[in-house]
Amino acid sequence: MSPAHKLCMIPGPIEFHEDVLQAMATPATSHVAPNFIPAFGESIELLRKVLFTTGQPFIIAGSGTLGWDMTACNLVEAGEDVLVCNSGYFGDRFGECLETYGAKVTHLRVPIGESPKLAAVAAALKAKKFKAITITHVDTSTGVLSDIKGIAEVVRTESPETLVIVDGVCSVGSEEIRMDAWGIDVVVTASQKALGAPPGLCIMGVSERAIGVFKARKTPVANYYANWNRWLPIMNAYESRKPSYFATPAVQNVFALHVSLKQIVEQGVEQRFVAHKEASAKAKKFIHDLGLTLVPTKVEHAANGMSAVYYPEGVAATDLLPKLAAHGIVAAGGLHVEIAPKYFRIGHMGISVTEPERGHLDATLNALKASLAECGYKGAL
């Protein structure tokens, strides 16, 4: 760690393992080099283990946002209806993306801090036939965790053909996801959150069923770079340990992702879920004991990889965040437009929770307590 480095305790990018960072500095390597092809191919295989799926992973140069385009342009045809379970900023944005490709979007909105209710999802599915339903697993803007297992069950009961699409950008690697067992068709994510690698890769898992729906499209895909017809042969080639080319992959980022995925699978995906739940419980108890209030209205639907917390009375963003930074902790401000100045966000994902001996979470919570005191907050300190 460089001396000037502050701990990056935001809900992504997160702190990286030293071996991951070292992989980012891999010397120049051809995208069809004998050492790169197996790293890419094995990353695809490892993603299946992380997502508990026999489906098709994708690893593409871009950001998680590109995964929305990939979902919208490949799986939805113009004029088809999509139900968006909207628990914050990212539901709004995913809806906009779907509309760009001609989807007719119905938002099932919940108040800030609430998670989508199963009964409301069931009622919406009874009222109209939807090609797909999208759920933001963890809305990074509010820290709300949606019950994707429960929602997928409701979908399979009420409307079995509806594709279940999960925005897992802020959940893959920190929250429990079992794609095949739970009947989830698409998981969109990115490299820089609980997968523990630097930003720059759009990552997806797509069920065999969804690939079948894609292949049965009646209209052409209205996007060039995001078109799975171009990427499926590439993913298949790398997995078969063969060279192929559509667009130059982000070689160093893929090497880094490969290192992180190997660590995740070797340490155990199940154990990772437990570690994130325990770290989150510790963080939430500390926050509660300080007399602070979470943005999620109930701890049962609060994310395990992050905490969104209201500033206590008399403490403002401009006070607390710089004080945390002075203690060596980078936290994030609010993002949801309706409450942005009223809350802050802390990430607790990846090595900061799976390797507690690093002391990241303790340092963060202690810095929070000290910074609040410096802000003049007495509360429950």
Binding site for its own copies (CB under 8 A): 1-2, 4-5, 7-8, 10, 12-16, 21-22, 24-31, 33, 35, 61-66, 68-69, 72, 96-97, 100-101, 190, 192, 198-200, 220-227, 245-253, 330, 332, 335
Q: Between residues 48 and 276, which has the closer beta carbon with respect to its own copies?
A: 276
Cβ atoms of residues 36 and 254 within 8 Å: yes
Q: What is the smallest separation between the CB atom of 339 and its own copies, expressed in angstroms?
A: 16
Q: Is the dihedral of CA 50, 309, 139, 67 positive or negative?
A: negative
**Which is closer to its own copies, CB of 151 or CB of 237?**
237
| Amino acid making up residue 367 | A
Q: Over the Cα atoms of the chain, what is R_g?
A: 21
Minimum distance between the CB of residue 243 and its own copies, rounded to whole angstroms?
A: 9
Shortest CB 61 distance to its own copies, Å = 5
Q: Among residues 63 and 106, whose Cβ is nearest to its own copies?
A: 63
Under a CB-based contact definition with an 8 Å cutoff, are residues 301 and 146 in contact? Answer: yes
Residue whose CB is less far from its own copies, 87 or 140: 140
Dist. CA 78–CA 222, nearest whole Å: 10
In angstroms, rounded to a whole number, what is the distance separating the alpha carbons of residues 367 and 330? 10
Quote the least distance from Cβ 62 to its own copies, whole Å: 5
φ, ψ of residue 210 to 5 degrees: the values are -70, -35
Cα dist from 50 to 56, 171, 343, whole Å: 12, 12, 32
Q: Does 241 count as an annotated binding residue?
A: no
Element (H, E) at 59: strand 56-61
State which residue, 41 or 200, has the beta carbon closest to its own copies: 200
Distances, alpha carbon 81 to alpha carbons 103, 107, 128, 130, in Å: 6, 11, 8, 5
Least separation, in Å, of the C-beta of 20 and its own copies? 9
Q: How far apart are CA 315 and CA 381, in angstroms?
A: 14
Determine the length of the chain. Answer: 381
Residue 176 near residue 170, CB atoms below 8 Å: no
Q: Which residue has the tokens 């999620």?
A: 296
Nearer to its own copies, 250 or 290 (CB): 250
> What's the closest the beta carbon of residue 150 comes to its own copies, in angstroms?
29
CB-CB contact of 92 with 86 (8 Å): yes
Q: Specify the residue, 90 or 311, whose C-beta has the smaller distance to its own copies.
A: 90
Min. distance of Cβ 119 from its own copies in angstroms? Answer: 31
Q: Which residues are annotated as a binding site for substrate?
A: 345
Mark the binding-site residues, compressed into ranges. Answer: 345
